[in-house]
Amino acid sequence: MGTIEIERGMVKYITSDGEIYYVKQHFPPSIPPVTERTSQKLLVPERFFSYGPIEKIVSLLGLGRCNVVTVKLAHEMHLTFEEFEMLQEMVGPEFYFSRAAYQYTPDTLPHKDPETAMGYQIVLDILVRNWDDGDRNMYMVSGIPVWFDFGASLDPRCQNVYRFLLKLQDAAEAGRVSSIELYFKNYSRQREKILEAAIEVFESITQSEIRTIVQVSEDEFSGFFADYLVNNISQISEDVDIIRGAFLSQKTADKGRIFYEPILKQTFWRQIK
């Protein structure tokens, strides 16, 4: 039996072993999926925020590869009936659990070097199209970043890498600068080597592992997200190159004080013509 607390308006669950999890309401997709009788094509929602299966998929993909927190679904926590009812009253009818980033220690993280940690994280974020990976969703443990909150990932609209670039730009203009953009601000040969190593790691993910991850995450659109991830893994090297080129070109233009329509938008519109 654990302990339930409220901290700054957020509900925390502390297990008997002392692990701290934030309890997040699981919102169903805002647009119900339907099956078109003619083509049997699955139409999925455009955005997923605070959606347990999505966060769990990303967390499992990053497990052992990136400094990401663990995400658990409600049934994995072995709650008592009383705890379950109390959390329903405090959080909502459906909920899931995200491990507190501040509980991690350097010895429990895959990467202890901050630059390496960020390089591996941005490859994961490009793979899952997570644009909301900036400082609001990052906690520093002894100077090492740990990421949490992956609900902005796997948006079907962003599978096209050029649309993802536009989303990164729109988010930055709204004050949510991605770790992806920050990584390329001071790009170096060392950072290039880190990216190359990270790409190799993610390219080695097998279709069998993807199938297991989406099944364990219990997502009702598991087939769609499995295809989404398999496709993105197959082209992760090219996608990283495209995004790197876009940000480095923008950086060069900024240094030369060139007045231009934003480069990312130019690149996108050229590609979709």
**Residue bearing the bigger pLDDT, 252 or 243:** 243
Let me know: does 36 contact 43? Beta carbons within 8 Å.
yes
Distance CA 233, CA 210 (A): 10
Q: What is the C-alpha separation between 222 and 203, in angstroms, rounded?
A: 20
Q: What is the mean pLDDT of residues 224-246?
A: 95
- Does the pLDDT of residue 33 top 80, yes or no? no
Average the pLDDT over 112-119 and give the result. Answer: 98
Mean pLDDT of the chain: 87
Please give the tally of structural domains in the chain. Answer: 1
pLDDT given for residue 155 in this prediction: 87
The reported pLDDT for the residue numbered 273 is 47
Query: Is pLDDT above 90 for 190?
Result: yes
Rounded Cα distance between 241 and 267, Å, is 13
**Binning pLDDT at 50, 70 and 90, where does residue 43 land?**
low
Which of 50-54, 184-188, 223-227 comes out lowest in average pLDDT?
50-54
Span 57-68, pLDDT tens digits: 999 999 999 999
| pLDDT 10s digits, 95-113 | 999 999 999 999 999 999 9
Whether 262 contacts 250, CB under 8 Å: yes
**What phi, psi does 201 have (nearest 5°)?**
-65, -45
Query: Range of 132's domain?
Result: 3-272
Position 37 pLDDT exceeds 90: no
